[in-house]
Amino acid sequence: MADIEAAIVEEKFLAASGPGGQNVNKVATAVQLRIDVFRLGLPPYAYQQLKTLAGSKLTSGGELVVTARKFRTQEANRQDARERVAELIARAHERDARRIKTKPSKAAKARRVDEKKGRSQVKAGRAKVQID
């Protein structure tokens, strides 16, 4: 997350649920990161992939919202949230291998036609017998 500028990231600390006993009632340990995706300067393919990966974490205004409340301390939650954002952005940059179109061989086409003819013969044999 070191490559993401501090100006793009907005941090907010919230009261967390989970481990911590009475501490969670007194201290705002959960962290919520808001990142303006448009200011990241992602290429179009990465932005589309990020939209898919982030799902409901991406707002209609183009903000990526990540909330971390797994740990008891602000610093651990901050680190967790930043790692999750960095992983999400790294996964968005991954591209799938291009698919190479293939065609069925002549032999495969011939086998398919022969099989269709065979099925046709079987079904024709099931028809009512007509006596002339």
Over the chain (132 residues), the average pLDDT of each successive run of 10 is: 62 69 71 82 82 82 83 84 87 87 95 96 88 78
On whether the 9-93 domain is CATH 3.30.160.20, my answer is yes
Would you state the structure tokens that stand for residue 95, as one six-digit string?
Answer: 């591209």
Distance CA 103, CA 98 (A): 16
Q: Are 81 and 66 in contact (CB under 8 A)?
A: yes
Contact between residue 1 and residue 85 where contact means Cβ atoms under 8 Å apart:
yes
**Would you state the pLDDT for residue 113?**
97
Distance CA 25, CA 15 (A): 7
Reported as a single tens digit per residue, the pLDDT across 32-44 is 888 888 878 888 8
Entry pTM: 0.62
Model pLDDT, residue 122 = 94
> Which pLDDT score, from 0 to 100, does residue 120 have?
95
Domain residue spans of the chain = 9-93
